[in-house]
Each structure stands twice: as structure tokens, then as C-alpha cells.
Structure 1
Amino acid sequence: MDAGRKPLLPAGIEVLLRDLIHERTGIFFESDRVDVLIEKLEPLAMARDCYSYLDYYYLLKYEENGVEDWARVMDVLSVQETYFWREIGQVRTLVDVIVPEWFQKTSAPLRIWSAASASGEEPYTILMALLEAGWGGHPIEIKGSDGSSSALQRSATATYREKSFRALPPHLKEKYFIPVEKEWKLRPEIARRVTFERANLLNTAEISTLARSPVIFCRNVFIYFSPHAVRQTVAAFASRMPSGGHLFVGAAESLLRLTADFELKEIGESFVYVRV
């Protein structure tokens, strides 16, 4: 294919690509946004020297060594808009109610999973809130995951620009971060307390261990999923979470008509889905 030449778009192939990506990732583009999907995929198809998007479809669907191609797809589709202290009421419920109740009942470690953690602001927010509340000496494991490799790289560097701090109290920024040129880096002794791994929420093998966590934050993810993909993901969580486990979703997300495995309860100052 000529360098710089855009791939041909045969009639109907955009729907095939849309449905394949939905099947593999859960992310769904309505018919009036399929052109946005093609725009995002265009540089990937060109980089693979595809004559048409049909070639790219076959590459994604049948290529035996397509792991890297799917990783690039996840990178371009990943939404990285997040910030520290986002929807902090839910984190306060975790810190003020759920964590104390856990350690009143057991001395076993508590695992908290931040699913689709993007560039890391959410799990680091959870960690800072726990430290501020005096839980730093307790056996609490915080795991972050994302389907995007580039997002995980940003999480690992733990270096952020000003927009990530728009809700974080200034004294906590000064306490936990070090200025680095025009950015701020989370102190290494803090950052190392959160571990990250790559996980596609629709791949049950990749989330099998993570979903056993008694606390899962999966916030502002399902707004990009179809109802079918949400049901599939929540069912995978439910089949592994312990009874009484807590699932936090975004303020604009509801599971009420999608699952009977969780009961919505008001705990502290937020609503939480509790595994029945």
C-alpha cells in the first residue's frame, strides 16, 4: 500500500469492526458514532499496511499473534479522563465504614481492586485516603488494572499534570507529591504500595484473581459498554466476589435492571452494590 494512503472502507465493514471490538472489549459505538471508531482505527490500519479495513478486520479476528494489535486498539479506545479525589464520597464510605468493619471481623488482608484504573489517579486516591485515616499499617492490598498498556505505563511513572489535581486538597498534593519540572510525581514510597497489571474486563481469565477482591471500584466504565457487556462483566465479578463484597460504580451508572447478584445499599454517604 502507498505510504500515507488511507485504507479503503468497503460497505458494511465498519459494522463488522464495531461488533468485533464490542465482543472483545465491551466498548460499544452506536450507529451514529461508528465514524468516530473508524477515525480512531485509521492510524492502526495504516501502520499495519492494510489495503482496506476488511484486511484490518481479518487481522484482528484471525491473526494468531494479534495480542499487540489488540493492545493498540485498547490504547486508542481508552478514555483517560480522570483525576484525584473524584467522586470522593464513595472512597470515604470505603475508608470510614467498610474498612473498619472488615478489620473488626478479621485480621486477614483486604484486597481492593480498581478496575479500569486509567492513569492511576483512582487507586492512588484510595491509598492516600486510607493513609490519611490511619490505615497505613494494616494489611490492605490495592490493585489497579486497565486494558490499555499506555495507561499502565503512566500509572507506573505516577507523574501528573495540574489537571489531575483539580479536586485534591492542596495540602495533600504538597504532602504526597514532589514537583518535577511542570509536573508532580507521587512519592516513590507511596506509589510502590499500589500494583498494576493489564486486564481486559471481558476476558475472564485475566480478571479471575482480581475479581475475588472483597472491594471492587469499577467506576465510569460501564457508560461505554453495551447492556450485554455490562451484564457479562458484572456476572464475572459476582461469580468470584465473596458474599457481602462491595462494588462501586460511577454516579451515572446503574445496575438495577442488569443483575440480581448485587443489592444496592446506602452506606455512609454513598450508594454501593453489595454481593448477595
Structure 2
Amino acid sequence: MMARDLLQQVTGLNLTEAVVGRAVERRMQATALEDARAYERLLAGSAQELSALTELVVVPESWMFRDAEAFVAATAFIGRRLAASAARPVRILSVPCAGGEEPYSMAMSLYSAGVASADYAIDAVDLSEVALARARAGLYTRNAFRGRHLDFRERFFKPAGAEFQICDEIRRQVSFEQANLLDPGFSSRPGYYDVIFCRNLLIYFDDPTVALAIASLARLLAGDGILFAGYAEVPAFCRNGFTSLRAPGAFALEKDGAHASWPARIPARQQARVPAAPARARSATPAAPPARNAARARRCRPHRLRRRPTCWRARGARPTWATTRAPPRPAANCWRPIPVRPTPTSSSAWSANANRRWTPPATTGAAAST
């Protein structure tokens, strides 16, 4: 079996030949093999080599509070769920969790909202052992902190050389495990999770694999639970048994026919949840005046203009129906000749002067009075 087909069968990733080729070359250099067929035989018989090749094709890139609206919406949902019934902790799943940025962001958001540590549990799953090792260590470079509002870093992290170490209170709230979403045994606990984060994973799958992954997530999600997806993945979920919820920027979904305890109003972000950026200052350019009436607006068509109108309010503005003066009407005596082509009956009257501008003859007073 070819390396690309084997990787897609195991991971579900729809990879290009170029990506797989570069990964195979690196592994052939590491194993000191020069024959591609020999490496394919090694890959088919060694689970360790398959895992090493998988590490080169997965994309474990993320950062803290990526698409922060999802964490705000999830925190509001969990708070509403706990207020209605605190019989058991709320169960949260993050798949794939990459280097732990997503589940740790959820834990920081709940901690900032005053949710007790005993009231929720977060499970984080990923296919990459390298990414899970980084997540368990809780050490992050500056690349994990993006944006201008990084107050949460001062509260939940401490400097560790050139990196930042997450505090133990947050790290204890997340359990990490290596697993594959496409494994049939992964969804062996139906309806176990109240909140599931599965963002920016399905975009790497083909259509049959997308349907298989969504079916696995639907089995894991409780009947009144919610799921957070990536922006480009919402249509795929809606085609496979999910309904989008009203949550601007969060991309939250529920199962078809379910009635999740979705809050009517999403609260404003707190300081630890990456505060919203300040509003941009308004431009000093004044707005264009409205058209006086519809008839004048219809006359003010830019394609009829032969020179730049003088009524624009701002330099560089483009002409519109509301900002363009109507072209002047032609004068009453501005007659334009119509060229006459010669015919058999008028060929003798045709001359070079026929195309010249014709001026009406002067009229006398007596002729004008008639």
C-alpha cells in the first residue's frame, strides 16, 4: 500500500502527494534507506515508523483563545447548565487539542467566571504524541500568545526562560490522551460530553471521512449539549444532523431537534478572556449628502459625465448618484447635423459641405411674428 493511502486510512487526512513525498524523504534519510519500496515495506510492518511519519504531516498549530467568542459562549452555556442543575460536573471534550492551547483556554475562561474546579472536567485528545507531550508540560513560546490583549498571560503564566509556564491550578483541570477520532472505540460512551470543541479538523478530510467523524462526535455529544466547530466546517455539520445556534463568531451547533439551554444573551468578555479591541476612530471625512429626490438621482448617472464634477465632498471619492451633479441640459439652438448619405435621387446634391455644422438662417421680424 502506498504511503499516502496508508496515512489516509489511519489518520483520515486527505493529503497531497507533495506533502507525503516530503515527509517520506525525511523519514528515508532518518532510516538510511534509499529505496522507496523498501521504505514502504518498513512502513507497512512498523507501527512506530507509521507514527513517526504521521508526526510530519499533522498540523498541531494553535494559540491561546483562538476565536475567543467560542470560549465566551461556552462559559455562558456552562454557567446556565450549572445554575439549572449541579448534580454532576459538566464534561468538556477538546479534539484535536494540538498543544493544549484550546483546553487550557477553556479552563482559564471558566476560572475567570468563578466556576469551581469540581464543577467541570476537560478531556483533551490528539493524534500526535509530540503535541501531547508539549501540552502536558504546559510550556509555551510567544507564538502561543497572539493579539494585543494578553492580560491573562500575567495571571495564569509565569516566565520560564524564553517560554511561559502555565500555572498548576489550570493544568490540573485538563486530562490529555492520545486517541483517534475515527477509531470505532473512541465513541464508546454515547452522550457523555456536554460541550465538544472540534474546530479546524474536518477541513483536512474528504466527504466520506467528514461524515464518519461527525457521526462519531454526534454519538459522544449529549442530547442537550453543544458543539463548537470552525467557520468553514459549519455547513458540513448542518448537512449531517446538526443545527447552527445564534452565537456570532462562536460557530456553535446542536443536534437536530435538541433544545440546548442556550443563553438568550451572551455576556461581554471578561479580562481573562481576551478583551475586545477598542473601536476604531471615525474618519474625519464627512458623509455624502443624500439625493434631493429620486428623479434627480436617476439623472445623475456617472457614465454620462464628461468631466469631473465639482460637488464631491472629499478628494478621491468616487461619483455616486447621491453625490454627482446632474449634467446641464443642451441649449435650445444647439442643433447637431445628421449626415445624409447619397441616394440615386440626391447624389447631385451631395457635397463635402454636407457634414459641416449647420446654422439656422437668420429670421426677420416679420418672419418671426408668423
Shorter-chain TM range is 0.7 to 0.9
2:204 counterpart residue number: 224
Q: Secondary structure in 2 aligned to 1:245?
A: strand
Counterparts of 1:188-227 in structure 2, within 5 Å, are 188-209=168-189, 212-227=192-207
1:58 to 23, 41, 60: 41
2:124 to 127, 144, 164: 144
Aligned residue identity for 1:226: D
2:144 counterpart residue number: 164
1:3 counterpart residue number: none
Q: Deviations over 1:11-65 (max 9, x none)?
A: xx8xx32222112111112xxx31221101222234344443333333333x2xx
Partners of 2:136 and 2:20 in 1: CA distance? 28
Change (3 A) 1:22 1:208: same
1:253 aligns with 2:239: no
TM-score if structure 1 supplies the norm length? 0.84
Partners of 2:123 and 2:190 in 1: CA distance? 8
Partners of 1:210 and 1:163 in 2: CA distance? 36
1:35 aligns with 2:18: yes
Aligned residue pairs: how many?
Answer: 256
Partners of 1:149 and 1:87 in 2: CA distance? 25
Partners of 1:104 and 1:141 in 2: CA distance? 18
Q: Secondary structure in 1 aligned to 2:220?
A: coil
8 Å CA contact 1:211, 1:240 repeated in 2: yes
Partners of 1:233 and 1:226 in 2: CA distance? 11
Looking at CA atoms only, which structure, 1 or 2, has the larger radius of gyration?
2
Partners of 1:180 and 1:257 in 2: CA distance? 41
How far does residue 103 in structure 1 lie from its aligned partner after superposition?
A: 4.2
Q: Secondary structure in 2 aligned to 1:270?
A: coil
Greater share of helix: 1
Change (3 A) 1:269 1:253: closer
Partners of 2:114 and 2:54 in 1: CA distance? 37
How far does residue 239 in structure 1 lie from its aligned partner after superposition?
A: 2.5
How far does residue 274 in structure 1 lie from its aligned partner after superposition?
A: 0.7
Q: Secondary structure in 2 aligned to 1:27?
A: coil
Aligned residue identity for 2:233: E
Aligned residue identity for 1:195: S
Stretches of structure 2 lacking an aligned partner (at least 5 in a row) = 257-370
How far does residue 150 in structure 1 lie from its aligned partner after superposition?
A: 0.4
1:271 counterpart residue number: 251
Change (3 A) 1:210 1:111: farther
Partners of 1:257 and 1:191 in 2: CA distance? 31
* Higher RCO (CA < 8 A, seq sep 6+): 1
